[in-house]
Amino acid sequence: MKSFRTELENPVVEEEILELGQKIALYKNGKIDEDRFKSLRLARGVYGQRQPGVQMVRIKIPYGSLNRKKLARIADVSDEYATGNLHVTTRQDIQLHFVSLDDTPELWEKLARDEVTMREACGNTVRNITGSHLAGVHPKEAFDISPYAQKTFEYLVRNPICQEMGRKFKISFSATEEDDYYSYIHDIGVIPVIQEIDGEEQRGFKVMIGGGLGAQPNHSEVAHEFLPTDQLIPFAESLIRVFDRYGERDRRHKARMKFLIKDLGRDGLMELASEQRKALPFQSYPIEGTEQSYEELQEIHSFDFSDESFKTWFEANVFTQKQEGYFSVGIKLHNGDISSNTSRDLIKVLEEINVDDIRTTIQQNLVLRFVKGSDVRKLYDALVELNLAEVGFEGLADIIACPGTDTCNLGIASSMGLATRLTDVLKKEYRHLAATKDIDIKISGCMNACGQHNLAAIGFQGMTIKVNKKVAPAAQVLLGGINEGNGNGKFADKVIKVPAKKADDALRYLLNDYYTNKNEGERYGEYYERLGKDYFYQLLKPLSDTTDFQEEWYQDWGREKDYVKAIGVGECAGVVVDLTITLIEEANERLEKAVKCMWQEKYSDAIYHAYTAYIHLAKSILIHTDEKLNTQSKIIKAFDKCYGNDFKWPANYSSFEELVLCMKENEPTEAFATAYLKNVDTIKEQVIEQHKVLTNE
């Protein structure tokens, strides 16, 4: 079975850090094409900011799992190389901003000392695997998904099947059928299930595939109602291989798996996935589903709720664990931010009460787990001192917002500025509703939905409007998103666009209307569905009127200057590099990796590296044609069409397609891997000669 070493122990990490430093030097000396360098740094978590000359570094936190040591390391690194701030994202990552590119190798090395990685946090890779922050402690869970999320992360990080895909690929693990981590918006989303088979209980997952947000949100489809746990990784690998081969590569807006499943259909996609099974290194991948160990308490603590402030906080932010006498405590972070100094102060508090289980959440918060009942009040008092005891964890006042125009190249509006304004409104005018979970608010600075506005009961998406021939910031109001559980959900509807400076009034209109007219126990999504879109359009229509537009409304929330629409080139999906020489060089790099894998007896990895080398070689001369090269499968077919009669094929093969795709028909043995790699060299020699002919060299 594939082994995994921590960042600290893995010699590959040291090699990658050195390589990043070398590539930075070559790039600055003009020896590496900018797009090729961008692809390399993105796969190492280094992302260009809106501000020139600095980078955002994204740190991968699989299923949000942290401990005191890791959090302290990230805080120290932020102080030394960034701004002293830690930003928790909607995928449980932690981002550091305003980092010098030259510092990124050293920053990575210091993170790796405490087993923290940036690897594949950005780019065309499998992004951070999200997992419920209540996994392992939820009273209703079938079993703890944490070990399965960890092993999936370990298996896929640095795996050759997912290094240069057409776009990113996202995986989530929910804790229960309530589906708290939104399986229906992911490329693969799973929910734990226990099923009785032959009189015995077996663990498995309900598996959803093909979901996504963005400008065209797509609800995922059921791939398996019950997939045994040992089949999860083989299935994921099969699906990723299909996405890599058949996924769009030229049109970024069409390059997610949600579009591939629309093109092929659920059954077509599943059939292609099943065709990959023979080539997999593992037909079964058992994972030991251990429960987290803890000290059983001799006495169960009883609470004194005579302090009304403590009682309110406890009811809103504290959750009873399935482990008797233990609690999980939620910390609400405004805009997902916590300073490095506050982080260290929090760590000291956790040391005093012996808590070392911390989770980041997709709501951009922190959760402290396995807090003894006898320590809850002490923790509360300490959190009050640190200004971390704000009521409303995952409630109405816990607004989610992406960075928007603060740092993101794609940002159209100041999502954080709007979140701050709406938070102020809620604190001053609706404080009594702060903890209600009937409504959630999510804000994105553009259509890409990093703030997950499509999912919200009340969502805002950054846009623009023209008033008196000047551009002003605006907010698209979306309503009615609801998570129905068990893999089902409804996306919010786009209702109306209003000037950004009227978004706070829009929130007032919506809250006042809801709490005046809702039925008993009716959540906002249900209320919206009952009354219909037009009702809310008419309710908010007066706010879209710009006849009374004031001069200060040309300024976005949190800004002092008039709005200027300035959208850079986004890097979320990485880049496509199609220069002939670059592609041949990339094929050579893949072949070098394949040889290393052969030495390590990782034959499946070697074969896949060689497969990618075939694709790069084919594309390197096909770019001189008019053929469509937007998927790997089209590249393979186009090569035979354009050059099939010009090449000499190795024995037993009559076409490029037959040669390349024989990997599907053979088990990944040493003998097959050796032959497959040898044949790449034969093709490479002919490609280089063909290139000379095409360029008249």
Three-state DSSP state, 1: coil
pLDDT band for position 70 (50/70/90)? very high
Domain contains 257: no
Residues 412 and 531 in one domain: yes
Give the model's pLDDT for residue 8: 47
Examine the fold and report which residue of 119, 135, 159 is the final residue of a domain before the chain moves on: 119
**What does the pLDDT read at residue 574?**
41
Asked if the structure places residue 136 within a domain, the reply is no
Q: Considering the domain boundaries, does residue 107 fall inside one? A: yes
- Cα 512 to Cα 185, 319, 430, 479, 508, distances in angstroms: 30, 29, 10, 15, 6
Question: Residue 336 and residue 340: Cα distance in Å, rounded?
Answer: 13
Mean pLDDT of the 248-261 span: 90
Q: Is residue 36 part of a domain?
A: yes
Q: Are residues 420 and 486 in the same domain?
A: yes
Judge if 372 and 425 occupy the same domain.
Answer: no
Examine the pLDDT at 213 and tell me if it is beyond 60: yes
In this structure, the answer to whether residues 516 and 637 fall within a common structural domain is: no
pLDDT, residue 690, reads 83
Q: Which of 583 and 60 is assigned the larger pLDDT?
A: 60
pLDDT level of residue 251 (50, 70, 90 thresholds): confident
| 461 and 539 co-located in one domain | yes
- Measured between alpha carbons, how far is 146 from 292 in angstroms, rounded to an integer? 9
CA angle 97, 42, 253 (to 5 degrees): 105
In this predicted structure, what is the pLDDT of residue 689?
A: 86
Strand segments, DSSP code E, in 102-168 are 130-131
> What is the token pair recorded at 601?
């007896």
Quick check: 9 pLDDT over 60?
A: no
**135 touches 160 (CB < 8 A):** no
Q: Does residue 193 lie within any of the structural domains?
A: no
> In angstroms, rounded to a whole number, what is the distance separating the alpha carbons of residues 161 and 135?
28
* DSSP secondary structure of 298-336: SS-------SHHHHHHHHHHEEE-SSTTEEEEEE--GGG
Residue 40 lies in a domain: yes
Residues 29-39 pLDDT 10s: 888 877 778 87
Q: Tokens representing 515?
A: 């709490």
Q: How confident is the model at residue 49 (pLDDT cuts 50, 70, 90)?
A: confident
Cα gap 559→536, rounded to integer Å: 29
Whether 348 and 483 map to the same domain: the answer is no
Strand bridging mode 458-467 / 441-444: parallel
Q: Tell me if 471 is assigned to some domain.
A: yes
Confidence band for 405, pLDDT divided at 50, 70 and 90: confident
Q: Express as a percent the part of the chain with pLDDT over 70.
A: 95
Contact 430, 399 (CB under 8 A): no
Give me the pLDDT at residue 696, please: 62
Domain of 659?
580-694
Residues 452-493 have pLDDT tens digits of: 999 999 999 998 888 888 888 899 999 999 999 999 999 999
| CATH number, position 474 | 3.30.413.10
Q: What is the pLDDT of residues 82-121, one digit of tens each?
A: 999 999 999 999 999 999 999 999 999 999 999 999 999 9
- Quick: pLDDT tens for 641-657: 999 888 999 988 999 99
- The DSSP line for 541-559 is GGGG--TT--GGGGSPTT-
525 and 437 in a common domain: yes
Mean pLDDT score, 249-271: 92
Q: Tell me, what's the pLDDT at 697? A: 52
Q: Does one domain contain both 18 and 90?
A: yes
| pLDDT of 409 | 73
What is the average pLDDT across 611-624? Answer: 92
Same domain for 321 and 418, yes or no, is no
What pLDDT, on a 0 to 100 scale, did the predictor assign at position 577? Answer: 35
Strand order in the sheet with 200-209: 130-131, 171-173, 188-197, 200-209, 221-228
Find out whether 495 and 538 touch, Cβ atoms under 8 Å.
Answer: no
Tokens of 487: 């893999």
List, in order, residues 6 or more apart from 315 with CB less than 8 Å away.
435
* DSSP code for 280: S
444: β partners = 461
Query: Is the torsion defined by CA of 226, 228, 229, 233 positive or negative?
Result: negative
Task: Please give the average per-residue pLDDT across 632-638, as a whole number.
Answer: 95
> Quick check: 584 and 688 in contact, CB under 8 A?
yes
Say which CATH number the domain at 380 has.
Answer: 3.90.480.10
**Virtual CA dihedral for 178, 196, 234, 146, nearest 10 degrees?**
40
User: Under a CB-based contact definition with an 8 Å cutoff, are residues 487 and 181 in contact?
Assistant: no
Residues 6 or more apart from 616 whose CB is under 8 A from it? 583, 584, 586, 587, 590
Exposed/middle/buried for 332, CB within 10 Å: 0-12, 13-18, 19+? buried
Say if 197 falls within a structural domain. Answer: no
The answer on pLDDT for 667 being more than 90 is yes
Tens of pLDDT, residues 325-380: 999 999 999 999 999 999 999 999 999 999 999 999 999 999 999 999 999 999 99
User: Looking at residue 570, what is its pLDDT?
Assistant: 52
**Last residue of some domain: 119, 153, 172?**
119
CATH number of 681's domain:
1.20.120
The candidate with the shortest Cα–Cα distance to 240, out of 160, 173, 185, 172, is 160
| 406 shares a domain with 381 | no
Average pLDDT over residues 599-619: 95
How many domains in the chain? 4
Same domain, 540 and 615: no
Name the least confident of 82-96, 123-137, 282-296, 316-330: 282-296
Convert the pLDDT of each residue in 668-691 to its tens digit.
999 999 999 999 999 999 988 887
Place of tokens 């699906």: 239
CB 445 within 8 A of CB 584: no
Q: What percent of the chain has pLDDT over 90?
A: 74
Two tokens at 543?
């706010």
Q: Check whether residue 544 and residue 430 sit in a common domain.
A: yes
Is the pLDDT reported for residue 4 higher than 50? no
Degrees, nearest 5: CA angle 57-60-64 = 130
Element holding 98 (H helix, E strand):
strand 94-99
E strands, 491-568, in order: 493-499
Q: In the prediction, which pLDDT does 291 show?
A: 84
Mean pLDDT of 257-270: 95
pLDDT 10s digits, 545-576: 988 888 888 888 877 666 555 544 455 544 33
102, 119, 136 - which closes a domain: 119
Place of tokens 């079964």: 284
CA separation (Å) from 298 to 92, 295, 319, 465? Answer: 34, 9, 20, 63
User: Looking at residues 253-258, what average pLDDT do you find?
Assistant: 90
